[in-house]
Amino acid sequence: MSTPRFYVTTAIAYPNGRPHMGHAYEAIATDVIARFKRLDGFDVRFLTGTDEHGLKIDQAARAAGKAPKAYVDEMVAPFQALDDALGISYSRFIRTTDADHKALVQALWQRMAANGDLYLGRYEGWYSVRDEAYYDEAELVTGEDGAKLSPQGTPVEWTVEESWFFRLSRYQQPLLDLYDSQPGFIQPTSRFNEMRAFVAGGLSDLSVSRTSFSWGIKVPGDERHVMYVWLDALANYLTGAGGLDGEWWPADLHVVGKDVVRFHTVYWPAFLMSAGVALPKAVFGHGFLLNRGEKMSKSLGNVVDPAEMATRFGVDRLRWFLCREVAFGDDGSYSDEAIVERTNADLANGIGNLAQRSLSMVAKNLNGMMPQRGEPGETEVRLKEAFLAGTDAYFAAMNGLALHKALDALMGMVTAANGYFAENAPWALAKTDTARMAEVLAATLDATRRIVLLAQPFIPDSTNRLLDQLGVAADARDFSALNSPVEAGLELPSPAGVFPRITIEA
């Protein structure tokens, strides 16, 4: 039987500034999904990278006194370095300046042209350089100073130039048919409702080229024009799949911010329909990450360097906090105090305490040997029932992209295991019934092993160290090992704490 495949992507970052916590959050959440699928027996391809063309990059490069390519070469490095520092297990870090991507985008354009969906015209309308997006007059809002702004609150400017247009209007009904036949194509439901209403309200043809600057991929046969940056950027998912007919296409899941859901669920499927390419299976639009409840902004002085946060608190603590505290799909908030409180409660007092107490007793009372299991009694039966229910809830949540609910289920198992340990008091049994003590420790270690195996997608480094101490072989750590207890009599390494409590530095 062939191994099932799973192709997942983040949105690609626009490197006109330093990476922020929003980039880290999306990368971490997508990495958790990719790691979960690998552990569950899938052959996973995980794509992330950078979107390097467009007017915004061109302007930023000019302001820095550099050529655009030299500018992006310098600016991309911190994004890839951040992914590596956060333990992001990507298969490829793609750049839209890569040679194979340029060839792919031009081939995509030619397919759309062959279908009669591209025509030359003149664009007159509002454009946001910051969003690299066109907006209708009805979508604009008025700022405090009376200036017109995009729905995202970014400045817009009136643009007039010759442009190639894509017949987006032709795809209004096919898109509505897609949404109605596959409601899971757009997740969560709030994003689905928003996008369906947008498309039902009518679609205008879309300007897909520019002549006012040259930093982009040239239009085949008309090199006065460069392609609209979003047509270029979205096609990265095909490049990463191996081409227009690549072996990894269609993508199983695009994970993107809610502010770019329109591009991924309206423009992207329409481009693909035009080119005769299969559609991705699902797009998930996550919420914004807020600093103490406020959107991150340079003017507010609350932009945080995620690499510094990971160094200060530890990568796994940051990963755990973001997935545990933020309901995936909703906006979420973070603060130093919240990170310390949550990770001390869950990791130090919860998982760490469970592992350290049971392993230390084995080292002290059983010569560091994995204890023998006995016949399950009433408390063991209750523990098993709690774990069966918790494991089912964990898998249901993970497969439903409810990462926070999966961690709720996991912590329910931690509570059950710690409760079992306290109820059976093996420290007291060490003085009165050493055989029963060994049975309780064996049951506790089995429970701990299951918890740590399930926690791997979220805190990979810490769980590796715990699994070493629990005697789980490095090549036996996927989810098939959940029902494969460590052999009794195996000598376990000396226990060492993995989750010391942390405090906020004054």
Cα separation, 113 vs 109, in Å, equals 6
Is the bond preceding residue 220 a cis peptide, omega within 30 degrees? Answer: no
The average pLDDT across 246-262 equals 97
On the CB side of 384, CA atoms within 13 Å amount to: 10
Instruction: Give the per-residue pLDDT at 299.
Output: 47
The average pLDDT across 282-306 equals 78
The average pLDDT across 255-267 equals 97
Task: Delimit the domains of the chain by residue range.
Answer: 5-286, 336-483
Cα separation, 300 vs 136, in Å, equals 29
Instruction: Give the per-residue pLDDT at 323.
Output: 98
Cα separation, 473 vs 468, in Å, equals 7
Contacts of 30 (CB under 8 A, 6+ apart): 8, 9, 10, 46, 48, 88, 255
Instruction: Give the per-residue pLDDT at 506.
Output: 54
The average pLDDT across 108-122 equals 97
Per-residue burial over 160-170, b = 16 or more CB atoms within 10 Å of its CB, e = otherwise: eebbbbbbbeb
Query: Where do we find the tokens 């420790």?
Result: 441
Nearest CA to 138 out of 230, 202, 205 is that of 202
> Is residue 441 pLDDT above 60, yes or no?
yes
Q: If pLDDT is split at 50, 70 and 90, which confidence band does 302 have?
A: low
pLDDT tens across 384-413, in order?
999 999 999 999 999 999 999 999 999 999
Cα separation, 209 vs 159, in Å, equals 12
Contacts of 345 (CB under 8 A, 6+ apart): none
5-286 belongs to CATH 3.40.50.620: yes
Q: Tell me if residue 108 falls in helix, strand or coil.
A: helix
Rounding to the nearest 10 degrees, give the CA dihedral for residues 497, 498, 502, 505.
Answer: 110
The average pLDDT across 447-456 equals 98
pLDDT tens across 181-229, in order?
999 999 999 999 999 999 999 999 999 999 999 999 999 999 999 999 9
Q: If pLDDT is split at 50, 70 and 90, which confidence band does 371 have?
A: very high
Query: In the chain, pLDDT over 90 holds for what percent of residues?
Result: 89
Q: If pLDDT is split at 50, 70 and 90, which confidence band does 505 have?
A: confident
> Is residue 252 pLDDT above 60, yes or no?
yes
Which one is predicted more confidently, 505 or 356?
Answer: 356
The average pLDDT across 10-36 equals 96
One-letter amino acid of 14: Y
- DSSP string for 177-241: HHHHH-GGGEESHHHHHHHHHHHHT----EE-EESS---SPEETTEEEEEE-HHHHHHTHHHHHH
> Is residue 107 pLDDT above 80, yes or no?
yes
Same fold, 5-286 and 336-483: no
Cα separation, 316 vs 324, in Å, equals 12
Q: For the ranges 292-306, 336-350, 466-480, which has the lowest average pLDDT?
A: 292-306
Radius of gyration of the chain (CA): 26
Q: If pLDDT is split at 50, 70 and 90, which confidence band does 308 have?
A: very high
Average pLDDT taken over every residue of the chain: 95
CATH H-level superfamily of 336-483: Isoleucyl-tRNA Synthetase; Domain 1 (1.10.730.10)
pLDDT tens across 165-176, in order?
999 999 999 999
